[in-house]
C-alpha cells in the first residue's frame, strides 16, 4: 500500500504548499521527508507566497494577529465587525519547544523578540519556521530594560537584524544612583556593542516600542531632574522618538497630535506595517482618540485628522490601563480592538478584547481567564516570514 509520505516530491510539495501556516508544525512531525521538505528554501518561499496571498484576500473580512495572553503567544483570526476572535491553531511554539513563560513580545517583519517572565533571557523567534536564537547578555539583563527589534537594509536588499537594549533609571536611595546602559546586539555577528546615548528624554518601562519599516518608535517625554521627595510633576513635553537601526542612533523629537499628562493612556500600533497609529485616553476624560500617520520616517511624521473618537463613559466607564491598552486597527472598517482586563469586576479575572467604532459601535470578546492581573495582554499584526535567524 502506498503511503502519503511516499508520494513524488513535486506532488507532495504542491499539496503541502496549500496548507495554512498553523499546520506546518504537524507537517514537520509527520515524517522525516516532510520535515526536510518544510525546511527547504524553495518550498518555504512557495508556501509563504500562498499564505500571504490568502491572508490578503481574507483581510477584507479578517486579520491574522499574534496575541500574548497569560505569558503564552498565540495566533488568532480576528473579525472586528461580526465580531469574532478565534484561535486558529498553534505555531511551532516556544511554550511547546522550550517550556518558557513570555512576559513581553516585540514584532518585526515576521520575527518576534521575546522576553522571558523571569527577565533572565531573550530569544528571537520565527514562529513560521520554528527557529529560535537565544541571546546571551553582555553582562546581565534588568527588570527595567527597554527593548526593540529592527533591521538595517543593506544595498543587496538583505536585512541585518539587530536588538536595542537600554535602561536609564535611578535605583536605590540615600542617594539614588543612575544606571544608564545602551547597547546593540547584531544577529549577524552574534555580538553586543555599547552605544553612546546622552538622553534628554525619558521612556517609561511600560511603554512598548513599535517596529515599523525596520525602525522602532516610542512615546517619550522630557527628562526632568530629580526633585525633592514629595514633589510631583505631571505636565511635561511629550513626543514621538525613533531609533534608526541603520544609523544606530535616535532621531529628533517628532510631534504628536495631542498633549498628554503622566496618568494618561498612550499606546502605539501599526497599520498594515506601513503607518503608525496612536491611541490616547486622558485620565480626566472618557474619550478614546486614535490617529493614523500620513507619513512616518525616522526624522519626520505627519498626521491625518482623528481616525476614531469614542466616548467610553456609556460603554465601559473606565480608563484603559496605562500599562496595557495594546490595540489593533482595521482602517477600512474604522474600528479598533483594545486589550485590557474586565474592569467591571472587583477582581481582574478575565482578559477582554474591547471593540470600538463609530456611532456607538461596541462589542466585548472574552479571551479567557486572567490568573495574573499584572500580566497585560498584547496584540500585533502578523505576516509569516522565511527570514533565517
Render pLDDT for 165-217 as a digit per residue (tens, 0 to 9).
999 888 877 777 788 899 999 999 999 999 999 899 999 988 999 999 999 99
| pLDDT higher than threshold 80 for residue 339 | yes
User: Considering only CA atoms, which of 105, 97, 107 is closest in space to residue 122?
Assistant: 105
Do residues 208 and 217 touch, judged by C-beta distance below 8 A?
no
Give the pLDDT confidence score for residue 228 in this predicted structure.
52
Structure confidence at residue 5 as a pLDDT band (50, 70, 90): low
Structure confidence at residue 356 as a pLDDT band (50, 70, 90): very high
The domain boundary, picked from 60, 83, 102, lies at: 60
> Where in the sequence is the domain holding 16, given as residue range(s)?
1-60
Residue 307 within any structural domain of the chain: yes
Residue 308: CA count within 13 A, CB half-sphere: 30
34 and 152 inside one domain: no
Which of the residue ranges 11-20, 74-83, 289-298, 328-337 would you say has the lowest mean pLDDT?
11-20
197 and 248 inside one domain: yes
Pull the grid cell for residue 96: 511547546
Residue 387 within any structural domain of the chain: no
User: Considering only CA atoms, which of 115, 123, 121, 71 is closest in space to residue 377?
Assistant: 71
Give the pLDDT confidence score for residue 233 in this predicted structure.
56
Give the pLDDT confidence score for residue 151 in this predicted structure.
95
Q: How many residues does the chain have?
A: 389
Backbone angles phi, psi at 65, to 5 degrees: -135, 155
Residue 335 within any structural domain of the chain: yes
Give the pLDDT confidence score for residue 243 in this predicted structure.
97
Print burial letters for 179-214: b (CB count within 10 Å at least 16), e (below 16).
Answer: eebbbbbbbeeeebeeeebeeebebbeebbbbbbbb
Give the pLDDT confidence score for residue 162 in this predicted structure.
97
CATH value at residue 345: 2.120.10.80
Amino acid at each position: 500500500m502506498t503511503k502519503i509520505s511516499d508520494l513524488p516530491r513535486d506532488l507532495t510539495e504542491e499539496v503541502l504548499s496549500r496548507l495554512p501556516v498553523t499546520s506546518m508544525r504537524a507537517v514537520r512531525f509527520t515524517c522525516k521527508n516532510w520535515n526536510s521538505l518544510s525546511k527547504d528554501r524553495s518550498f518555504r518561499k512557495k508556501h509563504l507566497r500562498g499564505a500571504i496571498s490568502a491572508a490578503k484576500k481574507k483581510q477584507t473580512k479578517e486579520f491574522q494577529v499574534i496575541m500574548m495572553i497569560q505569558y503564552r503567544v498565540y495566533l488568532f483570526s480576528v473579525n472586528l465587525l461580526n465580531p469574532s476572535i478565534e484561535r486558529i491553531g498553534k505555531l511551532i511554539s516556544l511554550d511547546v519547544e522550550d517550556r518558557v513563560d513570555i512576559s513581553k513580545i516585540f514584532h518585526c517583519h515576521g520575527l518576534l523578540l521575546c522576553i522571558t517572565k523571569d527577565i533572565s533571557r531573550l530569544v528571537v523567534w520565527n514562529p513560521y519556521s520554528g527557529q529560535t536564537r537565544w541571546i546571551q547578555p553582555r553582562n546581565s539583563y534588568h527588570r527595567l530594560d527597554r527593548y526593540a527589534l529592527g533591521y538595517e537594509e543593506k544595498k543587496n536588499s538583505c536585512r541585518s537584524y539587530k536588538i536595542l537594549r537600554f535602561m536609564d533609571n535611578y535605583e536605590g536611595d540615600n542617594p539614588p544612583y543612575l544606571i544608564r546602559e545602551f547597547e546593540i546586539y547584531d544577529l549577524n555577528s552574534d555580538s553586543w556593542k555599547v552605544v553612546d546615548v546622552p538622553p534628554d528624554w525619558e521612556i517609561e518601562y511600560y511603554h512598548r516600542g513599535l517596529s515599523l519599516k525596520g525602525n522602532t518608535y516610542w512615546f517619550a517625554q522630557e527628562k526632568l531632574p530629580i526633585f525633592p521627595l514629595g514633589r510631583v510633576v505631571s505636565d511635561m513635553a511629550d513626543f514621538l522618538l525613533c531609533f534608526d537601526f541603520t544609523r544606530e542612533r535616535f532621531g529628533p523629537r517628532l510631534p504628536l497630535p495631542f498633549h498628554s499628562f503622566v496618568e494618561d493612556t498612550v499606546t502605539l500600533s501599526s497599520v498594515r506595517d506601513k503607518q503608525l497609529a496612536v491611541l490616547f485616553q486622558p485620565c480626566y476624560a472618557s474619550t478614546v482618540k486614535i490617529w493614523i500617520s500620513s507619513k512616518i520616517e525616522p526624522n519626520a511624521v505627519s498626521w491625518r485628522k482623528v481616525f476614531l473618537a469614542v466616548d467610553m463613559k456609556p460603554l465601559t466607564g473606565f480608563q484603559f490601563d496605562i500599562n496595557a491598552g495594546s490595540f489593533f486597527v482595521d482602517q477600512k472598517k474604522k474600528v479598533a480592538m483594545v486589550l485590557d482586563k474586565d474592569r467591571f469586576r472587583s477582581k481582574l479575572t478575565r482578559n477582554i478584547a474591547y471593540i470600538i467604532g463609530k456611532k456607538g459601535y461596541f462589542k466585548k470578546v472574552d479571551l479567557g481567564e486572567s490568573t495574573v492581573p499584572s500580566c497585560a495582554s498584547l496584540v500585533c499584526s502578523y505576516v509569516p516570514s522565511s527570514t533565517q535567524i
